[in-house]
């Protein structure tokens, strides 16, 4: 198939725009792309689709989500509006733990059913690759069920799903005051079981005062290394705990959140080749005032990704376009940085080499927009200009 008559933002050269471009797709991969006038003769006979001059970007990638969960936390939202903090609610047994109770009581089919409207909202905005974490089970059966539900979502919908095992998300009530035993007796054995079932693409953790310290996370990372799995970390979100330095020392793909990260952390991330995953939805929802060190990350040359962090507590957001807008308005990222954040840099945060750019050999996953300039994707609030998506080489009108 040949897609023609488009303004192409391939994300291979910043957010540069190539007018009158062509993309040739064969076998769910991009075979060739470039100016129409240079289309090789070998492709001239392929079936043709005219995109009417629309803007084309890589399919969007939401690289950090907790989209599978039971229940919701609207009551906690009301408590926070009355002045309770996220950490106070968590320490009182609410927060992540209330979602753990609800998730433990939810079947795999119901987890999938509950997640589908959220996943559909993401797809409707051009998402073609979605990361989904476990971490609301904190026991073997529920963690495995969450990961199976995540895989099922990738079968039921035309979207690629990348899973992360997040057993080290919170300390369950049955291990209260005994986080070390939880890591050794539940978290690591469950990771091994999930890996044996082919359910884990990466391993994540939450390094925080209300979660796990660096030595506990280090044991999870060591277990991941033994299994040959890449690692990531929720780091320096609510306080500075040294998670970035730990993640860098262990060769992590990314550190995520980063509100309390320092310039030194930014340099360590650059030296380790890590991606900074910026999550403005959590910053906004928690009414955080401390900003991630965007200038230091930029100066150090750390690639920045942007994600929804879709979860029932700190970021009940399913709009990646809104996350881009927030990255720009709240953090002064540029629209070009925001677009890189949901395409090539997001792919890097996942360790996925064949998505996030439009180039020969890449997956044929594209988003086709009714806009004329890529900055319009970050500029508007609550408006979806998606015209169509191409997933695995198939054009789908939304
Ligand atoms: O990424 N920071 C830890 N985990 C989630 C929040 C999960 C929740 O509140 O349910 C996050 O913000
Ligand atoms: Fe998260």
| Backbone torsions φ then ψ of 275, nearest 5 degrees | -100, 140
d(CA 385, CA 371): 7
Least Cα distance to 54 among 351, 374, 381 occurs for 374
Question: pLDDT value at position 398?
Answer: 76
Check: CB of residue 314 under 8 Å from CB of residue 71.
no
Which H, E and C letters describe 127-162, residue by residue? EEEEEEECCCCCCHHHHHHHHHHHHHHHHHCCCEEE
Per-position pLDDT tens, the chain of length 398? 999 999 999 999 999 999 999 999 999 999 999 999 999 999 999 999 999 999 999 999 999 999 999 999 999 999 999 999 999 999 888 999 999 999 999 999 999 999 999 999 999 999 999 999 999 999 999 999 999 999 999 999 999 999 999 999 999 999 999 999 999 999 999 999 999 999 999 999 999 999 999 999 999 999 999 999 999 999 999 999 999 999 999 999 999 999 999 999 999 999 999 999 999 999 999 999 999 999 999 999 999 999 999 999 999 999 999 999 999 999 999 999 999 999 999 999 999 999 999 999 999 999 999 999 999 999 999 999 999 999 999 999 97
Check: CB of residue 286 under 8 Å from CB of residue 315.
no
- Residue whose Cα lies nearest atom 1 of ligand 1: it is 309
Ligand 1 near 286 CB (within 6 A): no
From residue 36, alpha-carbon distances to 30, 41, 54 in Å are 15, 11, 15
Ligand 1 near 341 CB (within 6 A): no
Terminal Cα-to-Cα distance of the chain (whole angstroms) = 19
Ligand 1 near 73 CB (within 6 A): no
Question: pLDDT value at position 202?
Answer: 98
Check: CB of residue 308 under 8 Å from CB of residue 315.
yes
- Residue whose Cα lies nearest atom 5 of ligand 1: it is 314
Ligand 1 near 212 CB (within 6 A): no
Best mutation site among 72, 314, 317 for ligand 1 pocket (most ligand atoms within 8 Å of CB): 314
Best mutation site among 283, 286, 310, 313 for ligand 1 pocket (most ligand atoms within 8 Å of CB): 313
Q: Report angle CA 23, 336, 67 to the nearest 5 degrees.
A: 85
Ligand 1 near 80 CB (within 6 A): no
Nearest atom, ligand 1, residue 136 CA: 10
Question: pLDDT value at position 93?
Answer: 87
Ligand 1 near 280 CB (within 6 A): no
Question: pLDDT value at position 276?
Answer: 99
Nearest atom, ligand 1, residue 234 CA: 2
- Residue whose Cα lies nearest atom 3 of ligand 1: it is 206
Q: Report angle CA 224, 248, 258 to the nearest 5 degrees.
A: 105
């Amino acid at each position: 198939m040949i897609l023609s008559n488009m303004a192409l933002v391939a994300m291979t050269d910043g957010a540069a725009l190539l007018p009158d471009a062509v993309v040739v797709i064969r076998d769910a991969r991009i075979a060739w792309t470039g100016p129409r006038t240079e289309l090789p003769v070998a492709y001239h006979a392929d079936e043709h689709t005219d995109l009417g001059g629309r803007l084309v970007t890589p399919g969007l990638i939401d690289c950090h989500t907790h989209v599978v969960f039971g229940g919701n936390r609207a009551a906690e939202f009301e408590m926070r509006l009355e002045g309770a903090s996220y950490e106070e609610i968590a320490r009182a047994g609410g927060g992540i733990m209330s979602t753990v109770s609800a998730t433990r009581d939810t079947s795999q089919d119901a987890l999938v059913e509950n997640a589908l409207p959220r996943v559909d909202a993401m797809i409707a905005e051009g998402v073609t690759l979605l990361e989904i974490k476990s971490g609301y089970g904190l026991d073997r059966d529920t963690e495995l069920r969450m990961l199976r539900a995540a895989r099922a979502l990738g079968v039921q919908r035309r979207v690629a799903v990348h899973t992360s095992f997040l057993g080290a998300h919170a300390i369950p009530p049955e291990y209260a005051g005994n986080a070390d035993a939880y890591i050794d007796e539940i978290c690591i054995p469950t990771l091994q079981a999930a890996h044996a079932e082919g359910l884990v693409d990466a391993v994540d953790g939450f390094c925080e005062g209300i979660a796990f310290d660096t030595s506990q996370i280090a044991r999870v990372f060591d277990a991941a290394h033994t299994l040959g799995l890449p690692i990531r970390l929720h780091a320096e979100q609510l306080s500075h705990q040294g998670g970035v330095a730990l993640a860098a020392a262990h060769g992590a793909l990314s550190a995520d959140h980063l509100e309390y990260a320092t310039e030194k952390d930014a340099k360590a991330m650059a030296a380790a080749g890590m991606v900074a995953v910026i999550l403005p939805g959590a910053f906004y929802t928690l009414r955080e005032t401390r900003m991630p060190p965007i200038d230091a990350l930029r100066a150090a040359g750390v690639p920045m990704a942007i994600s929804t962090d879709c979860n029932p507590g700190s970021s009940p957001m399913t709009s990646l376009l809104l996350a881009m807008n927030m990255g720009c308005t709240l953090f002064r990222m540029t629209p070009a940085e925001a677009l890189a954040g949901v395409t090539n840099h997001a792919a890097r945060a996942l360790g996925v080499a064949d998505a996030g750019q439009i180039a020969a050999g890449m997956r044929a996953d594209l988003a086709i927009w009714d806009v004329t300039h890529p900055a319009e994707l970050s500029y508007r609030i609550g408006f979806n200009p998606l015209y169509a998506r191409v997933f695995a080489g198939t054009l789908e009108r939304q």
